[in-house]
Chain A
Amino acid sequence: MMQFLINLNGKTLENFTPVSALLGGALIGLSVSLLLLLNGRMAGISGIMNGLLSAPKKEEIWRGLFLLGLVVGAVIFQLLTDDSLVLRKGYPILLIIMGGFLVGVGTRMGSGCTSGHGICGIANFSIRSIAATITFMLSGMVTVFILKHILGVAS
């Protein structure tokens, strides 16, 4: 895939992939725009996931289909490209279980995740979404710093 070596302040950004990142981001923006223009829905994925098991029956279908679409999109990409995405191996499963639980609780308490706040909310100039996005970016960075550089796990 498109790989770039960029030197920034003497630091090499080895795995930086700006072109595929921008293009992939634009596809996500297109998806979010379509769902809003046609169905009047914000593509906040934690909200869609949560609603799958709590919204009225009639609403569950579109939510299920959107989530199925995410899976299908990943499969199509795998089939279209030669360099397939490699799965991570040996990552501590306890971090996944605890992390997933916190993602679940946190996105309900905070009413959204990376897509709902970071893309939909910011595009809607929501002050709440801007505050939430800054908060989860910072807490994510602090968490990785502690886990990787202080505790030395998950590196």
Chain B
Amino acid sequence: MKNNLVALLSGVIFGLGLALSQMIDPNKVLNFLDVTGNWDPSLAFVMMGALAVTMLSFRFILKRPAPLFESVFHMSKQTVITRPLLIGAGLFGIGWGMSGYCPGPAVASLGLLSVEGLVMVAAIYAGFFSHRWFAGK
């Protein structure tokens, strides 16, 4: 119960952050990626703002033996840069550059009743299922 409320609240704050920073606007994201055109560095400032908070908070949080409402931290244990990591990130970047949406803004844009956002979310899930099918999971 507590965990679920935390998840909802955390999602709302994340969505507010995406809207305030205008990352919910796919053209603003494309203008960040368009370094040789009318470049808009705002997205880098969003990352800096987020990292300024998380770089500090993670140091304190991960010093704890466990999170407050859960028995363990659920973290990735992988440490090696692999071929799938780089190929996957490369493909993600291509899709990001084609559409202007990464997963967070795509979901948040449903709140603006964006048809594009709905198509994007459906296409992302099609990608998830295809990957699962190919990977045989």
Contact = CB atoms under 8 A, between A and B. Distances in A.
A85 B112 contact: yes
B23 to A, nearest CB: 7
Q: Is the interface of B mostly helix, strand, loop or mixed?
A: helix
Q: Is the interface of A mostly helix, strand, loop or mixed?
A: helix
Contacts, number: 486
A112 to B, nearest CB: 8
Contacts of B111: 70-75, 78
A38 B3 contact: yes
Interface size class of B (residues with CB under 8 A): 35 or more
A103 B34 contact: no
Contact of B51 (A36, A75, A123): A123
Given A13-B39, A88-B26, A135-B86, A99 B128 contact: no
Nearest to B37: A148
B42 A15 contact: yes
Interface residues of A, number: 110
16 contacts: A17-B40, A20-B20, A20-B22, A26-B52, A27-B17, A28-B46, A85-B19, A102-B95, A107-B103, A109-B88, A110-B90, A114-B104, A132-B88, A139-B92, A142-B93, A143-B93
9 closest A-B pairs by beta carbon, nearest first, are A104-B127, A69-B11, A73-B15, A25-B49, A110-B88, A100-B123, A24-B21, A29-B53, A109-B88
Interface of B: 2-4, 6-28, 30-31, 33-43, 45-55, 57-58, 61-62, 64, 66-76, 78-82, 84-104, 106-112, 114, 116, 119-132, 135
